[in-house]
Every structure is written in structure tokens, then in C-alpha cells.
A and B are shown apart, each in its own frame.
Chain A
Amino acid sequence: MIESGQWEPKIVAFLCNWCSYAGADLAGTSRIQYPPSIRIIRVPCSGRIDPLFILASLQKGADGVLVSGCHPGECHYLTGNYSARRKFALLKSLLEHMGLEEGRVQFSWVSASEGVRFAKVVEEVTARVRALGPANKLLKKVPGGLLDVSTHP
């Protein structure tokens, strides 16, 4: 954020509609403070997350990505988060293997009743990404600065 004059990370958060998005909502309505570093994108289920979404976020200027869904066993679609978990395990391992910093891409489970937990997750994720500094490895550099996101629907 610019106010403090200190660099703050931009983190794209993919939250599932049924648990984590509601958890974020609860954190808000309960007036729980958490770092304003995240940009929330609501998805129907954590199983909806294509690894390409995560990579595209990093390409378009995100410093970190958080994906959050219902706890195992609590998925609205019964098994979406289980399928997602397998994808996440492979993706996280692959990204780190190729030399991306550990912690750029993170995953968590937050239920609709866990407003406090959501705030803590965001705090922890923000702290880790802040420590890593700005992401530039997958950033797409175009003449005249960053990619203009508005031209990419």
C-alpha cells in the first residue's frame, strides 16, 4: 500500500463460493482486521481452479496467489476439493522444482464459519509473500510497463 510508503504485495485470492468466500465475508461483517493485500476472485469450487489461472495471475503482475476452499469432507460438491488437492500438490511441487520461490502460491482450507481463521490465513500468506519481495519471474513485461489487464477480458 502506498500510505505507509512501504511496498506491499498484491495477492490474488481464489476463494470458493461456499466456504472461503463466505469466510472472508464473515471476517468483514465481524470487523476483523486483515492486510488489504488480497484481491478476491470468487470461484464456484476450489476444484474449478485450473493451474493456468494461477500462472496467469503471476504473469499479469500478482506477487502471490492464494487458493482457498472448503475443508476436506465439507465440499459443497462433495469431492471438488479432494480433486483440487491432488492438482495443488503437483502444481506446488512443480513450481518450486522449476525455481519459483516457495510461498508464492499457497493453498488453504477455510470454512464459512471461520472468519478469524480467514484473517489469520491472509496475514500469514501476506507475511510470506512480503518477505519474498515483488514477483518478477513469470511477469510478462511489455513495452511501456506492465501488461494492461483491462485489455485482457
Chain B
Amino acid sequence: MAFQSRKKFCYFKENSITDVDYKDVKLLRRFITDQGKIMPRRVTGTSSKMHRKLVRAIKQARNIALMPYTNVSTES
């Protein structure tokens, strides 16, 4: 094949992280788009189990204003 995509891997499994903390914004930022949307599992390659934890953590971080709900037109 001409185009061979890089193999996806679960970031959490690779770094042996078992729990996602909603206060760890630096980690969570890896898994959102520039717009602030949560990236799908098929893009990030995160395992199903960790993706569920990740989504929960991102939503908690959004609630407490550590992460944006959306990045469109917030800065103006």
C-alpha cells in the first residue's frame, strides 16, 4: 500500500495510567480539538475503558471552568 497509516495506540495503556484526574488539564488537552470538542476514539486510539473515564474527566473539568466547552468566539 502506498499510504500506510501510523499504528494507533492507547495513550493510557502505553503510559500505564489507570485513572484520569479532571484537574490534570495538561493531559486532557491532548484529547480535545482546537474547538474544544472531545476527539473520537477512532482518532485517538484510546481504549474503550479509558475513553469513558477520559470523557467523564473532561466534562468535570469543563464544569469547573478548567477547560472550555467551546473555543469559538470566547476571545474577542
On whether the two chains bind one another, the answer is no
**Hey, which bits of chain B sit against chain A, CB under 8 A?**
none
